[in-house]
Amino acid sequence: MIYFGCDYYPEQWAQWLAEGEARWETDAALMAEAGLNVVRLAEFAWGLLEPAQDRFDFTWLDRAVEVLGRHGLKVVMCTPTPTPPPWLLYQSPEIRQIMADGRQQGAGTRREACANQPVYRERSRIISQAIASRYAQNPHVVGWQTDNEFGCHGSAICYCGECETAFQHWLQAKYMDLEMLNEAWGGSFWGEVYADWRHIPAPTQSAAERSPSHLLDYQRFSSDTWRDYHNMEIDILRATCPGHFVTHNLMSFFEPLNYYNLCAQLDFVSWDNYHYHGATPGVVAATHDHMWGILRRNFWVMEQQIGHINWSVYNPEPGPGFLRLKSYQGIGHGADGMVYFRWRQALAGSEQYHTGMLDHAGRKTIGYEEAKVIGNELKTLAPYLEGTVPAAEVAILLDFESRWAMTMQPHNALLRSGVAPDSVNPSPIMRVDRDERREDQQMTGNAHAMWPFAAPYIALWERNVGAAIISPDSDLSGYKVVCAPFLNIVRPAVAKRLAAYVAQGGTLIIGPRSGFKDEHNKLFAQPQPGPLAALTGSTVRYIDSMEPERLNVLRWNNVPHMHRTEVGIWAELLEPQPGTETIAYYSNGWYANEPAITHKKHEGGGQVIYVGCMGGPDLYANLWDWLLPPLHVQPPLAPVVGVEVCVRAAPDGRKVVFVLNHSSQPHAMTLAHPLTDLLTGETHQRSLALKPHQVVIFQEVAATAHA
């Protein structure tokens, strides 16, 4: 079943409109007319559900659920804990977070509270238990979303006294004795040797740099804090509502929290898909594949943008065809739930410029009309998708601790997560999605946070080759190629896992800055890539952190059909060991003719490519065109610029192929055999003519088509 719905705030419309709750019937009827079958409720309603301490009022929510249920709509209920009510913030102001500069979070918004504050945690437990008990047996409620976007608005890390004490206890549990901590942190630098656990501070803003080891452990501690808080809510829901699913809505390539740990106890993850400036089709596709990879299960899009949003650098109206194209892109990458944010544009509050399926005056928008079409189509499509998951023979490894380490010591402003688009001059190699599918956009804002993973992913995406973005702790045996484009921190277990993968015949690509640091955020005493040196057959002699405008050019060696390749931002001069081949050299500057990329073959058919430089999709396009054909990794349809093709496959070999024209231009594809569009019933013989922004979905191709 594909769940198809919207995010709805009945409490708001009961207050804002003269007709009050009577509007709910109208809204529910319009939702049903559009083919919706699910509605998300109550994630920000704590102040209405508990207007005073221990005085609960669920009667209005009961009535809203009943109205929706009468119109055939199921409900995803939320624990409303991201918005502690005014009485709680007034009564216990200490629950508000303390920022790194010592300022206390202001009240009257959302995500003000610290998860280590006992009062906030206890009141969160009470409201979560109360709402779970209220709707455990309600026939219209099918599942739960915990809280809302943990860590958003800079709320992932708090520096209050409770956090400092909890951090000291966390360290004591991890290291057992101070001598081990001092050794792990390299405390002899600047004389930071601790003689008492109570002396270890929360790493607040300071005049000079903090110890990277101290910072990394505080990041781990903060992430663990929200994981433990999250698990408290999950445990309540599991015990009280055993028949309901539990999920949480994540954000695109959000860095501060370790999503693998945060989501480990969920049934599936969800995410909020907004097409902010810089979120190109390839970046969105990558996020979908990462969301699948967090638990290696199909996911939901819990908030899918409908029209213009209110918070990006620029907020254009995407226009006709956008919602249908983006909905099917998500479903094609493994979304089994598609929920639109929001039902109606708000009349009050901070999101007044965020449009919905209805505008602020209650008129149907382009999004509503397109949703109505999609709702009817999904009734036909859903049976074909049963039991299918995204098809991927390539895996890209995303390690949160390596991302944290890079943000703490980027050594190049372009590698700092979330860099503002106007704060530094972008490097030309950070352009993605040129030539219609690459719309010549820079990696900016949130999109910039996934840049190290963008280049290899975009090059695969352009070739219609599916890729999973997963944890380095995952089982790698099912993938023909594993790419670790940025594995700055290498833990012993990860090094062992990668070596085993190669020993079993796998093809591994290691990217720049890999194996530089150990699990304590210290440099290894041996040359980079540290514990991966024997695997790669190369070590790093020098590094060059490059200004945005300075580029180098690769000279390929004994590798046919390679195109001119510019690299920038970061360059490593490699020293290949005997038996390791250099396949690319630098062309310019003082290190011209020095090795940039090496290739080592291992017994049993395994091979490792060490990429010592940073490049855009063109760099990895060359590598994929060389590597993939001998490994029999082939796309379901030959690539056509502007057209994305993705596949969902079932264990019995069934495949559902999604063809998505992201371009505003028509495109033609020549097919190897006839196909029938599952959405329209139209049969295409040997030619597929795609209109701008058109979607075609069919079941299984017999052979690769040729464009």
Q: CA–CA separation, 402 vs 570, rounded Å?
A: 16
Asked whether the beta carbons of 598 and 578 are under 8 A apart, the reply is no
Indicate if the alpha-carbon torsion angle 369, 370, 375, 380 is positive or negative: positive
Within 10 angstroms of residue 653's Cβ, the number of other Cβ atoms is 7
- Distance linking the first and last C-alpha atoms of the chain: 33
Helix (H) or strand (E) holding 294: helix 281-295
Q: How far is CA 634 from CA 353, 371, 392, 393, in A?
A: 44, 33, 11, 9
Indicate if the alpha-carbon torsion angle 348, 354, 359, 362 is positive or negative: negative
Question: DSSP letters of 585-625?
Answer: EE-SSTTTTSEEEEEEE-GGG-EEEEE-EEE-HHHHHHHHH
User: Of these residues, 303, 370, 401, 462, which one is catalytic?
Assistant: 303
Q: CA–CA separation, 482 vs 247, rounded Å?
A: 28
Beta strand 643-649 pairing with 675-676: unpaired
Beta strand 551-556 pairing with 467-470: unpaired
User: Of these residues, 43, 149, 401, 594, which one is catalytic?
Assistant: 149
Query: Is residue 110 helix, strand or coil?
Result: coil
Nearest Cα residue to 302 out of 533, 546, 77: 77
Q: CA–CA separation, 267 vs 264, rounded Å?
A: 8
Backbone angles phi, psi at 374, to 5 degrees: -60, -40
DSSP designation for 160: S
Catalytic (active site) residue 149? yes
Within 10 angstroms of residue 236's Cβ, the number of other Cβ atoms is 24
Q: CA–CA separation, 13 vs 20, rounded Å?
A: 6
Asked whether the beta carbons of 449 and 254 are under 8 A apart, the reply is yes
Q: Which residues contact 415 (CB under 8 A, 6 or more apart)?
A: 406, 451, 452, 569, 570
Annotated catalytic residues are: 149, 303
